[in-house]
Structure 1
Amino acid sequence: MVPDSHRLRALRASVAERPTLNLAYRIGVGLLGVVVLAAGIVAIPYPGPGWLIVFAGLGILATEFVWAHRTLRWTRERYRQVMDWYSARGLVVKTLGALLTVAVVLATLWVLGTFGLVDSWLGLDQKWLHGPLA
């Protein structure tokens, strides 16, 4: 029995032999990778897997594009360096980082009108909670 990775390589090779199908495949991979990458970039300041989604998007793109492969390697190395630096810092820097994260999350929730939605559920009628986009 042929391992799955060999089957996938054979399938990709057969797609590559057909120029129109290959172009459509590359466009599809590019679109999917850009959507995943954009979602990851949006998610970075929030608690959760923002950077993981960024790396997944770059990984998808790297399957077809050399520039994405180089960018993925470069970004992973810089991420590792920043995390090593951050881990070596004291409690003050880590606390400031956490407070900055909380501030970014609260600011974006306000801008998007999330607090105004909760305000309307509770019937408080506080206009300042609705944010500029609400």
Structure 2
Amino acid sequence: MVHDVRMSTQQREDEVEATGFRHRFRRNPALNLTYRVGVGVVGGLVLVAGVVMIPYPGPGWLVVFAGLAILATEFAWAGRLLRFAKRYYDAWVAWLKRQHVAVKALVLVATGLVVAVTCWLLGAFSLVGGWFGLDWAWLGSPIFGSRG
């Protein structure tokens, strides 16, 4: 199949899609809505999980980008948000790389504080302290109270 250079990206995608499984869903309004809702739910859950994971060690931003990519398969706004988020994430990383080691250490300490406070609020310190027989009141979560 020969593509015209002047053909837009959307026209090429529509041409490829006309033969794919997604085309069959788009022809049926009920299937199309079900598919879009499913993509929205799955993408939304992945996105929320990624946002929750951002301050913690691990793949938080990767999961955020994955959630947005899932949503972008069906929603144009998610594609725009994905490009925006990638651009600002890359800018943040580039800025952080240019900083003095003291600024990098401050960012690391702030991240550690966010993790520690969240663990305390969720009762993780009380739980682990209980494993070692430490029943100190300050380990208990102010949200969930004491273990007992």
- Fold-level similarity (TM above 0.5): yes
C-alpha distance in structure 1 between counterparts of 2:59 and 2:130, whole Å: 30
Q: Which runs of 5+ in 2 are unaligned?
A: 1-15
C-alpha distance in structure 2 between counterparts of 1:40 and 1:106, whole Å: 18
Q: CA deviation at 1:109?
A: 0.4
- Paired amino acid for 1:47: P
2:130 counterpart of 1:120:
yes
Residue of structure 2 aligned with 1:47, choices 45, 52, 57: 57
Report the aligned-residue RMSD. Answer: 1.5
Q: Identity over aligned residues, as a percent?
A: 49
Q: CA deviation at 1:32?
A: 0.4
SS, match of residue 115 in structure 2: helix
SS, match of residue 47 in structure 1: coil
Q: Where does residue 111 of structure 1 map in the other structure?
A: 121
Q: Which runs of 5+ in 1 are unaligned?
A: 1-5
- Paired amino acid for 1:25: Y
Q: Please identify runs of 4+ aligned residues in structure 1 that moved more than 3 A.
A: none
Relative to the length of structure 2, the TM-score reads: 0.83
TM-superposition CA deviations, 1:17-68 (whole Å, max 9, x none): 1110000000000000000000000000001100000000000000000000
C-alpha distance in structure 1 between counterparts of 2:134 and 2:73, whole Å: 51
C-alpha distance in structure 2 between counterparts of 1:63 and 1:76, whole Å: 16
C-alpha distance in structure 1 between counterparts of 2:134 and 2:86, whole Å: 46
Structure 1 residues 123-132 or 65-74, which shifts more? Answer: 123-132
The aligned runs of 1:1-134 (5 Å cut-off) are 10-134=20-144
Q: CA deviation at 1:120?
A: 1.2
**Higher RCO (Cα < 8 Å, 6 or more apart):** 1
Q: CA deviation at 1:133?
A: 2.1
C-alpha distance in structure 1 between counterparts of 2:133 and 2:109, whole Å: 29
User: Which of these two proteins has the greater Rg computed from alpha carbons?
Assistant: 2
Relative to the length of structure 1, the TM-score reads: 0.92
